Structure 1
Amino acid sequence: MTEAYVKQEINNRIATIEFFHPAHNSLPGDILAKLANTITEAGKNDGVKVIILKSGGDRTFCAGASFNELININDADTGKIFFSGFANVINAMRKCPKFIIGRIQGKTVGGGVGVAAATDYCMATKFAAIKLSELNVGIGPFVVGPAVERKLGTSGFSQIAIDANSFYEAEWAKQKGLYNEVYETLEELDEAVQKFAENLCNYNPEAMKEMKKVFWSGTEDWDNLLAERAGISGKLVLSDFTKETLKRFK
């Protein structure tokens, strides 16, 4: 079984950042920390003009938070630290001065939807259905909520957050504004992502940096907001309801 990783390749001023985990690309704390750090470093690298964010494998983009870690949380501080992992990735993406293109090859769940929503331009295959499953286990999509709501609007966000058992098709996600383009095959997606990134490299990096600031204006308080939200999830994961539910899932 392949080990979990975060890796980066830089070719022709395009940084491709890829994460992988053998459990359907679920994200434990150490991988989230590496991912946030890699995005931040790519943002500071003068040799990089555009970032592509992708995951390994061809089936699932991201299954969300690591279940094994979730089950083992026994105090509020540990809970807050765990849920801050996704907050740190989203904030790293928000603050990165370069455009981040999302390449979503398959289903994405929970925290993975938040990561997709925090990209600046997101391209997917028709297999990339989304689900916010947090309510299923007794918590809620608190940390990723602001990023998802920013793309889907309050109506779309509340719909998938409440209907926590259902996958919503890629076409639905496109209509709501999460995906910018949806492709029939993985090959078509990869070709389109590459071409799009190469085209962006022709533009003025200063202009792109200023545009990114404009697109994310109004989110300046997210360092505090997402930390607060991580605290809510951290408390809820300790509730009797959630503990019992997680035992059943185990």
Structure 2
Amino acid sequence: MKNMEYLGCEIMNLKESMPKCNLLEVNLEKEILEISLNRIDVYNALNPELIQELINIFSWAANSCAATAHSLVSESGETLPRVIILKGNGKHFCAGADINWMKDSGEATLEENQKDAKRLDELFYGIWSNPCFTIGLIKGVALGGGAGLVACLDHVIAMDGSKIAMSEIKLGILPAVIGPYVYKRLGSAQFRRLAMLGSRINTDEALRIGFIDEIAKDEKDLEINCNKIISQILTSAPSAIEQAKLLCKTFDDWNGNMMELRDHTLKTTSVMRGGKEGQEGLGAFIERRDPDWYVSNEE
């Protein structure tokens, strides 16, 4: 195959290929992609432009990450992302849907509202199914769609004093679009209870029912806890992380019998053992060395 530069096609570096954002702050440093909601004046409320920017950046990450490329570096030799951090600038993570957007939706047609709902679901599914390991850093409030964002993330650390709510019912609507993702995180009973109450829960309650995974005492502690999780995940095989998510989805969606499921897991195990990462991981274990994807705490 001819060299791309010889053909006059320069390989675009990662940062140049990232989508442009006006309402997000995006920072890529080696394996870590940090995304910050940046509508501080309205507590990072979701509007169509912010939603589309989030869709674009998470889609870019899905297509450009180590898991998808089956490689730790890009064609230009740059380290590919493996972890995504989602947080909000200012006092609050996300106050839900922008009030002006909500007002406009009341006058929109059914087709226009369905289009908005479809875009919102595209966002949530894009986060929930992203091949990268996703971490949420929550402070202030996460309401409505903000709670939906929280539910889609793999690991959530909330600062003490934060509040989460599926507050849609207070407006006479339902948490329908965020529902599948909150339901998967909380289970039927807790989703049903919180969807009807619409009240804000504190970090202790959120931790108890599984809405979050850790509580940080302050912003410094939030960063420390985040770095600990990053250190752990960067010792895990990136493509296997994606496959773990797909395996979980298989269990969620399984319609066959137990024997068929057992057969599926046997085949999956065989494929993973014989794969590139499986061979590297098993070889590293036998040879008493770190696998090639391992990033130590010192790096």
Please say whether Structure 1 and Structure 2 have the same fold, judged by a TM-score greater than 0.5: yes
Matched, 1:9 2:27: yes
The equivalent of 1:35 in structure 2 is 54
Q: What's 2:125 paired with?
A: 91
Identity of aligned residues (%): 25
- Structure 1 gap ranges (5+): 222-250
Name 1:194's counterpart in structure 2: 227
Cα displacement (A) at 1:159: 1.2
Partner SS for 2:36: strand
- Counterpart residue identity of residue 212, structure 2: Y
Residue 211 of structure 1 is matched in structure 2 by 244
Aligned partner letter, 2:248: F
CA deviations 1:122-179 (Å, max 9, x no partner) are 1111122111111111111000011111111111111111112x21111111111111
Deviation at 1:215, TM superposition (A): 2.9
What amino acid maps onto 2:241 in structure 1?
M
Partner of 1:23: 42
The secondary structure found in structure 1 opposite 2:200 is: coil
Shift of 1:220: 6.6
Q: TM-score, length-normalised on structure 2?
A: 0.69
Q: Secondary structure at the match of 1:61?
A: coil
Q: Report the Cα distance in structure 1 between the residues aligned to 2:44 and 2:59, rounded to whole angstroms.
A: 21
Q: Please state if 1:158 is matched with 2:192.
A: yes
Deviation at 1:51, TM superposition (A): 1.0
Cα distance in 2 for residues equivalent to 1:111 and 1:220? 24
Question: SS of the residue aligned with 2:43?
Answer: coil
Alignment-derived partner of residue 210 in structure 2: 177
Matched residue type, 2:240: A
Q: Give, in whole Å, the separation in 2 of the partners of 1:189 and 1:215.
A: 28
Shift of 1:103: 1.0
2:93 to 61, 68, 73: 61
Q: Distance in 1 between matches of 2:129 and 2:186?
A: 20
How many equivalent pairs are there? 217
Using the TM superposition, name which of 114-123 and 185-194 deviates more: 185-194
Q: For 2:161 and 2:115, how far apart are their aligned partners in 1?
A: 32
2:37–2:93 contact (8 Å) kept in structure 1: no
Q: 1:71 aligns with which of 95, 103, 106?
A: 103
Query: How many Å apart are 1:23 and its aligned residue?
Result: 0.5
Contact 1:33 1:88 in 2 (8 A): no
Relative to 1, partners in 2 of residues 1:136 and 1:173: Cα closer, same or farther, differing over 3 Å?
Answer: same
Q: Is the 8 A contact 1:130 1:167 kept in 2?
A: yes
Equivalent AA in structure 2 for residue 93 of structure 1: I
Aligned to 2:138: 104
State the SS of the aligned residue for 1:62: coil
Task: Give 3-state SS (helix, strand or coil) of 1:127's partner.
Answer: coil
Q: CA RMSD in A?
A: 1.9
User: Cα–Cα, structure 1 residues 218 and 27, in superposed 2: closer, same or farther, change >3 Å?
Assistant: farther
Instruction: Tell me if the contact between 2:83 and 2:230 (Cα under 8 Å) persists in the aligned partners.
Output: yes
Measured in 2, the distance between the counterparts of 1:207 and 1:214 equals 10
Relative to 1, partners in 2 of residues 1:220 and 1:115: Cα closer, same or farther, differing over 3 Å? farther
Contact 1:99 1:212 in 2 (8 A): no
Structure 2 residue runs of 5 or longer lacking an equivalent are 1-20, 67-79, 255-299
Larger Rg: 2
Q: For residues 112-151 of structure 1, what are the structure 2 equivalents within 5 Å?
A: 112-151=146-185
